[in-house]
Amino acid sequence: MGAIIWGTSGKHVTSAQNRTILICSGKGGVGKTTLTANLGIALAKQGARTAVLDADFGLRNLDLLLGLENRIVYTAQEVLSGSCRLEQALVKHKQEPNLSLLPAGNPRMLEWLTPDDMKKIAGLLAEQFDYVLIDCPAGIEDGFKNAAAACREAIVVTTPEVSAVRDADRVIGLLQTREIEPIQLVLNRVRPRMMANQEMLSVSDVTDILALPLLGLVLEDDQVIISTNRGEPLTLNGSRSPAGQAYTNVARRLRGEEVPLADPTKEGRGLRAKLGRLMHTKIF
């Protein structure tokens, strides 16, 4: 990642290490914001200066998942209009000071963002942070286009369901025409038992269809809902729950560490898992 220069006022040179990553899915409700929150915390805990930017200013929720909803005073809009400095708008996480949140805008605002606005904001963040994660709105309209304009690489989140995979495919096509590289996949809400029973698309079904490298596999986990209730991402307190570990592993892989990916249908040692594997055997 080389240095980029944004804006007209001065030369903003990014930190040489900066990675600005779009987190998107096309379909809503597959876990973009949960991934952004958990990945942001995990990266910060691993020592990387990390900013999470909520590009979905109409229906913003990243603040809620991070437990920062009461601390937002300014947004990126005030930074762009010059009514505050970036430092004033950034909300630093108390427990994990390596992580800061920047909401793109206020839900009461009408459309004001342009792709250039997003580029400027991302450029400012890139000066100060190693990782900038942009939580993309659902859909493939303006909100997506704005967020995608600011990114060089992307993580596509999907679940093993036909609608989510189809929408992910659309988004991947759009990212590729924008020459966003690399694009990696996180497969969310995996249910090993259903997969073993062949009642859910398998991991290889999804990776074959979408033809993307797999960055992470997250099992369906009740702890995710419990952690959102509290506003404390699973990665914050080093949760040993399956999803918490999976998010931590996504962060480690993103930073270049080799962390093996286990096939969820082959993990179990119990009778049910063995039977599932037997049922999977091709007989002719």
Contact footprint for another protein (CB under 8 A): 161-162, 165-166, 169-170, 172-173, 195, 197-202, 205, 209-211, 278-284
Minimal distance, residue 210 CB to another protein, in Å: 8
Residue closer to another protein (CB basis): 131 or 144: 144
Q: How many other C-beta atoms lie within 10 A of the C-beta of residue 157?
A: 28
Residue closer to another protein (CB basis): 121 or 185: 185
91-92/50-54 β-pairing: unpaired
Q: Do the beta carbons of residue 27 and residue 167 sit within 8 Å?
A: yes
Give the integer Cα–Cα distance in Å for 215 and 185: 5
Q: Do the beta carbons of residue 135 and residue 23 sit within 8 Å?
A: yes
Under DSSP, the state recorded for 129 is -
Q: Which residues pair with 216 in a beta bridge?
A: 186
Residue closer to another protein (CB basis): 179 or 199: 199
Residue where the block lists tokens 């939580």: 135
Residue type, 146: N
Residue closer to another protein (CB basis): 72 or 209: 209
3-state DSSP call for residue 157? Answer: strand
Q: Under 8 Å CB-to-CB from 143, ≥6 apart: which residues?
A: 55, 56, 58, 136, 137
Minimal distance, residue 204 CB to another protein, in Å: 10
Minimal distance, residue 180 CB to another protein, in Å: 14
Minimal distance, residue 66 CB to another protein, in Å: 34
Conformation bin of residue 72: beta by default, left when phi > 0, alpha when psi is -120 to 50: beta
Minimal distance, residue 70 CB to another protein, in Å: 42
Under DSSP, the state recorded for 107 is T
Q: How many CA atoms lie within 13 A of 96 on its CB side?
A: 29
Minimal distance, residue 217 CB to another protein, in Å: 16
Minimal distance, residue 170 CB to another protein, in Å: 6
Q: Do the beta carbons of residue 133 and residue 101 sit within 8 Å?
A: no
